[in-house]
Amino acid sequence: MNYTIAEINLKNLQYNYNSIRKKTKTKVMAVVKADAYGHGMVKCTEALLKLKNKPEYFGVALLSEAIELRKSTNIKSPIVCFAPFHKELFKEYIKYNVILSVTSEDQANELLKLKTKKKIIVHFNINTGMNRLGIRFSNAVKVIEKFANDKKIVIDGIYTHFATSDEKSKDFANLQLKRFASLIEELRDKNINYGLAHAANSGAILDMENSYFDMVRPGISLYGYTPSQETTESIKLKPVMSLYSKLSAITKVNKGETVGYGRLYKASKEIRCGTIPAGYADGLSRGLSDKMKVIINNKVFPQIGRISMDRISINLASTKIKKGSKVILIGSSKNHKIDAWEWSKILNTIPYEITCLISKRVARKYVGNS
């Protein structure tokens, strides 16, 4: 039995969503890609669908994610797949009613050549400066114009993605915004119906109110974190994931003895060493070795030695903590808190990576589902 559990607080998820909706006053596309950033795509989607003002759209990265949502939930909402469209998968898009993203001129031309009696619903991805995917903004009107009178195509939306909305300086994000807004204005002047315009990711939702357009796309903010520590905290967010385990064994380590692989930790005095059944196979990076902390009985203790695949060791000093005690890896007690940002600072990364890397062998326990 694995005593390490990721507790997913669905009430906090709903709170974050409602807070975002209250601030933006727009339609919302809830981004649930990457298994809802490690939180469980199906359960998180179901919790959001229970809300009175539920998301109008859901966003995924892969067609397989969209298919899983259709098969595993009662979702009737539109699902947008951000991945580049491939004509070989066209029947799957139609079968599962998935909105495809047109991310290049080549894809646009392929779509125009398709012979089908089914309506093809599309969102156009516009490259305003990310230079990853998307039709270049300077060519976009010309490309979209070709679709305006094609009866098999329904242009349901147009979107772009900010490269720096999570940075303190918004200069480049504002340049992208200017390009996108100019494109929309040009489409309007030509009486081309572009559907819903959406650009604001989590950083822009927090700091760029002029980027909201018709719809916003919250990702990491849904799960309780700002996308960086350079954004404001204009929305109060509650972390959705907590990570718990138990002390599975306690060993006496004498002065001068070492703990773990590579003998990374050497005891300066006799200690009680606790072990916890969680390691890098569960999502605790080896880079946290000898640097992370845990909470037990409302006290903070240091992790010692190298993090192994299945276990970590804790310096319990001379305390009388017992085997089986609850261990908080990410979460809070009465007086202490450890969140994904603490691990992120050690690893020079962001909370996205921390939550996404909590592996499938860590059971998800869902609480607070209203």
Q: Which residues are catalytic?
A: 33, 261
Q: What angle do CA 367, 368, 370 make, to 5 degrees?
A: 130
* Neighbouring residues of 321: CB distance < 8 A, sequence distance ≥ 6: 247, 250, 272, 274, 296, 297
- Beta-strand relationship, 5-9 and 271-276: unpaired
Q: Helices 10-24 and 41-49: crossing angle, nearest 10°?
A: 60
Question: How many Cα atoms within 13 Å fall on the side-chain side of residue 285?
Answer: 18
CB 296 within 8 A of CB 247: yes
- Would the CA dihedral through 104, 106, 112, 115 be positive or negative? negative
Interatomic CA distance for residues 259 and 263, integer angstroms = 6
Residue type, 4: T
Q: Helices 137-145 and 171-189: crossing angle, nearest 10°?
A: 20
Residue type, 104: S
